[in-house]
Amino acid sequence: MAPEAKAHELVVSVSPHVRGKETVGRIMWTVNLSLLPAFIMSVYYFGPLAAYVTGLCVLSSVFFEHVYQVSLKKKTTIGDGSAFLTGLLLGLNLPPTVPFYIPVIGSIVAVVITKLLFGGLGYNIFNPALIGRAFLLISFPKLLTTWSEPTAKFIALDAKTSATPLGILKEEGLNQLIAVFGDKMTLYKELFMGHTAGSLGETSVIALLLGAAILLVRGYITWHIPFSFLGTVAALAWVFGAKDIETGNIIFFAGDPVIHLFSGGLILGAFFMATDYVTCPSIRKGQIIFGIGCGAITMLIRLKGGFPEGVMFAILLMNCFAPLIDRNVKSKMFGEIKEQKK
């Protein structure tokens, strides 16, 4: 061999020798970016306090992930954007008027207990942000269900409390909900824009859909989960959603799907949380089952359960089934049918 060729240290590794551009970090940061419109709307409606709550969640999530990994002498993974995303989602799922320790505790539960203790990103069974929120809701029920009016104020301490649309719907019925907003079209409009009481980032449907469109176009999420989720909610709302005020009996096929689709955490949940790669099935057919399950449990809780909103518990319950679904739903193998014929 020519000696000059020896000067080259050749790298030897297994094929393929070229790779696509996608990385975990790129995906996670894009999802973070796609939540920017919802974040901006939350500040617009609920004031700087919204930025404070969400910011605190993000900071604590990233901080505790870093501290955990450094203290266990592991490589820190805060650069991959996943802890940032968990914090962001947790913040957008909180009411505006929570004391500082709520975001901090929620972040610890979400990032450290739900994700890192299970082995880190990829090994967690449940959606970290949702476990964080569920923990807070059960531990601090009063704080987590005190909603303020969507009127931007620098200091929201004096903000008037208000019920969420789903809360009014559950306690006082559809007619009262429409009465609060004036007429039905105004109600739809306010829901769509996000000018209602609720968790910080869940109210503005238009902002969330904008972010979801980015993810769909980039191919980071597919239609399977969100559309089957939303479709199931709409169908069940239409069939079972209407109640006779006098008797309390269900009037079939008379419900209002639009109110159910646009209110609560449904849009946020369906596009940004149920689609979490790690905790949803990875085979597309299985994702449809997952979405239908999420929709069914959501409506069961909304219509029959003790809570006005059921998206969070629906997704967490379906997270349990994701591995089971993946094991039992198989994509069609190349050459499979003919083998069976033999």
Partner 1 sequence: MSKAVTFERGIHPSYNKELASGKAVTAAKLPGRIVIPLSQHIGAPAKAVVNIGDEVKRGQVIGETTGFVSSPVHSSISGKVIAIADFPTTAGRMVQSIVVEGDGRDEAVALKENPDYLNLSVDEIKTLIKDAGIVGMGGAAFPTNVKLSPPKEKTIDAVVINGAECEPYLTADHRLMVEHPKEVVEGLKIIMKSLGVSEGHIGIEENKPDALEAISSVVAGESTIKVWPLEIKYPQGAEKMLIKAVKGREVPSKGLPMDVGVVVQNVGTAIAVYEAVRYGKPLIERVVTITGKGIQEPKNMLVRIGTLMSDVVEQCGGLTGGAVKVIAGGPMMGFAQWTLDVPVVKGTSGILVLSEEEYVASDEYSACIRCGSCIDVCPMGLNPSILSIYAEKGFYEDARDNNLFDCFECGSCAYVCPAKRPMVQFMRLAKSQVKP
Instruction: Candidates 40, 113, 180, 283: give the one binding partner 1 (CB under 8 A).
Output: 283
Instruction: Candidates 119, 246, 247, 248: give the one binding partner 1 (CB under 8 A).
Output: 119
Instruction: Candidates 74, 160, 189, 284: give the one binding partner 1 (CB under 8 A).
Output: 284
Residue 36 CB, nearest distance to partner 1 (Å)? Answer: 21
Size of the site for partner 1 (CB under 8 A): 47
301 neighbors 145 (Cβ within 8 angstroms)? no
Distance CA 206, CA 258 (A): 14
User: Under the criterion CB under 8 A, does residue 72 sit at the interface with partner 1?
Assistant: no
Distance CA 205, CA 219 (A): 21
Instruction: Candidates 44, 140, 188, 277: give the one binding partner 1 (CB under 8 A).
Output: 277
Distance CA 192, CA 196 (A): 9
The type of residue at 237 is A
Distance CA 180, CA 184 (A): 10
Interface positions, 11-40, toward partner 1 (CB under 8 A)? 11-20, 22-24, 26-27
Residue 130 CB, nearest distance to partner 1 (Å)? Answer: 17
Question: Which SS3 state, helix, strand or coil, does residue 148 take?
Answer: strand
Distance CA 194, CA 210 (A): 13
User: Under the criterion CB under 8 A, does residue 303 sit at the interface with partner 1?
Assistant: no
Distance CA 335, CA 338 (A): 6
Instruction: Candidates 187, 278, 294, 301: give the one binding partner 1 (CB under 8 A).
Output: 278
Residue carrying the six token digits 């980039």: 218
Of 188, 196, 194, nearest to 167 by C-alpha is 196
Instruction: Candidates 74, 160, 189, 330: give the one binding partner 1 (CB under 8 A).
Output: 330
User: Under the criterion CB under 8 A, does residue 123 sit at the interface with partner 1?
Assistant: yes
Nearer to partner 1, 87 or 103 (CB): 87
Binding site for partner 1 (CB under 8 A): 1-2, 4-5, 8-20, 22-24, 26-27, 77, 80, 119-123, 277-278, 280, 282-284, 326, 330-339, 342
